[in-house]
Chain A
Amino acid sequence: MNVKQSKNPFEITLTLLTWLIVIVLWFIFTNVGEMSSLLLPSPQVVWETFMNIVKNGYGNVSLWQHLSDSFVRLFWAVSLAFITAVPLGLLSGYFSKFKAIVDSIVQFYRPIPPLAYYALLILWMGIDDGSKVTLLYLAAFAPIYIACVAAVNSVSQDYILSSKSLGANQKDVFTKVVLPACMPDIFTGLRTAMGFAYTTLVAAEMTAATSGIGWMVIDASRYLRSDVMFVGIIIMGVTGIIMDGGLLLLENKLVFWKGKD
């Protein structure tokens, strides 16, 4: 199993080495030169700040609260997007008349950067989580929807014909053949949506919020706390990788046949 995932030890070493060099260069640059720590804090300072934030939080809110605020928003938005975009996308893929109704709307709003309509959402729904979840929902909806439409259209015709010759009716064809055949593409759509919603989340928290990991970074910038900004940015990067890794793990479990038929 997992042939496509396995990396050889040499490649892993290369990856680790790259990061080691980045950190060493960072260390040398900030400790030897006369770089202002306001612009580029040293690794030790960032580490200390990190430990401090873990212990005491930031802006009277603990780090875990910031993180959980961010992830609760993300979780609701992506879940809602998933349970609505999958059926709509599959229906659009299946019935061209249905697609004629839904597709143009999605295609219209999809290229618009979510922050462009965020201001409107705040006007309508206030500055609380409602507007943020709606924003992220819209951001996550399009990639999942589009993946589903494409997935249905790429289901092998022979799969469908052979199932009919085995006695499957329309419903069986959909639930037992089309749906599972679409699963790998739906998962890819979900991962894209998660990534896009996450970047949108941070941007939204930077625009208007009182908590969350994005808010932490933008708030720190107002006080020139570049060490806190560094901590925030690194946390964003790492959580992003963990999130995608988790989805990848789930994908390998649930759609184990991906790329093997």
Chain B
Amino acid sequence: MAKETPLIALNHVSMDYGDGTESVLALKDIDLAIEKNEFLCILGPSGCGKSTLLKIIAGYQKPTTGEATFQGKTITGPDWHRGVVFQSPTLYPWLSVKDNVGFGPKVRGIKKAQIDQITDQFLDQIGLLKDKDKAVFDLSGGMRQRVALARVLANEPEMILMDEPLGALDALTRLNMQTLIRDLWHKNKNTVVMITHDVEEALSLGTRVIVMSKQPGTIIKSYDLNYTYQALETDNHRVKVDEQYLEIKNDILDLINADLNEA
């Protein structure tokens, strides 16, 4: 075990939806520890309970059995230490880009001058400082997702949870966003948990990738990787695909497919 308490610890977590004969077991006996500075990617077929897992960590749902802890304390509800980026950006259309990013610090009672400084800093990091007074509905999908990211970063949370944040974006925007997310994670020394459908995305971003089985969701395999560190060092910020990378990719695809065909 790790020397200190992990940031997140899930102990025998199961999640049951509904009751009686109608009940659906979404997660079954999950044990997972997430350490500080990890970039954890969760892969799995649709309906495997990935999102449920994330919601439990975020505090939106309580596990039916087992326990989820954050810094050693049981998670009882959402709070700003665990920021969440949704698949579709949930920016508030009545606020400007700048005010969306400043929303977290504002509700936490931080002084206005400091909020301005924080928002400028993170808008600069996502490259949208010049658009700070725009309305969010005038931005493109990729830009909105960047603002959603900056909004979470502005709180400087202990960890960031992302539920397929790039799922709705086109391939090119997606690649740029992956680089951006990797850079931000590295620069701000964050801890990230990211759900994705895309095996390559998981391999190029994660320091650890876990693969989940279809319902009821269990963790079937876990990989420790360093492609994301490699990508940080190259000039074009892309992963260098080697033999091992392809092997792991195939391995994961086989796992997911075998699991799907079992039914």
Contact = CB atoms under 8 A, between A and B. Distances in A.
Contacts of B107: 163, 166-169, 172, 176
B135 A167 contact: no
B104 interface: yes
B92 A159 contact: yes
A165 interface: yes
B4 to A, nearest CB: 25
Chain A interface secondary structure, helix, strand, loop or mixed?
helix
A159 B90 contact: yes
A167 B60 contact: no
Nearest to B105: A167
Considering residues A163, A167, A168, A260, which has the most beta carbons from chain B within 10 angstroms of its beta carbon? A167
Given A158-B86, A177-B92, A166 B104 contact: yes
A260 B137 contact: yes
Nearest to B103: A166
Given A161-B60, A257-B93, A261-B137, A166 B151 contact: yes
B79 A167 contact: yes
Contact of A161 (B78, B103, B104): B78
A172 B108 CA distance: 10
B137 A165 contact: no
B155 interface: yes
Interface in A150-165: 156, 158-159, 161-165
Contacts of A180: 92, 94
A231 to B, nearest CB: 43
Given A161-B84, A165-B82, A176-B107, A260 B90 contact: no
B152 interface: yes
Contacts of B151: 166
B26 interface: no
B77 interface: yes
Contacts of A177: 92
Interface string A45-74: 000000000000000000000000000000
A84 to B, nearest CB: 24
Contacts of A256: 135
Given A167-B108, A168-B107, A162 B94 contact: no
B84 A162 contact: yes
A224 to B, nearest CB: 55
A169 B104 CA distance: 11
Contact of B90 (A158, A167, A169, A255): A158
A248 B88 CA distance: 30
Interface string B138-168: 0000000000000110010000000000000
Considering residues A165, A167, A257, which has the most beta carbons from chain B within 10 angstroms of its beta carbon? A165
Contacts of A260: 93, 135, 137
B155 A156 contact: no
A159 B151 CA distance: 13
A183 interface: yes
A260 B134 CA distance: 14
Nearest to A175: B107
Interface string B104-136: 100110000000000000000000000000011
Contacts of A162: 84, 86, 90
Considering residues B80, B84, B92, which has the most beta carbons from chain A within 10 angstroms of its beta carbon? B92
15 contacts: A158-B90, A159-B90, A159-B92, A161-B90, A162-B86, A165-B58, A165-B84, A166-B103, A166-B151, A167-B79, A167-B80, A167-B108, A181-B94, A257-B94, A261-B137
Interface of B: 58-60, 77-80, 82-84, 86, 88, 90, 92-94, 103-104, 107-108, 135-137, 151-152, 155
CB-based closest 7 A-B pairs: A167-B80, A257-B93, A166-B104, A261-B93, A260-B137, A164-B78, A158-B90
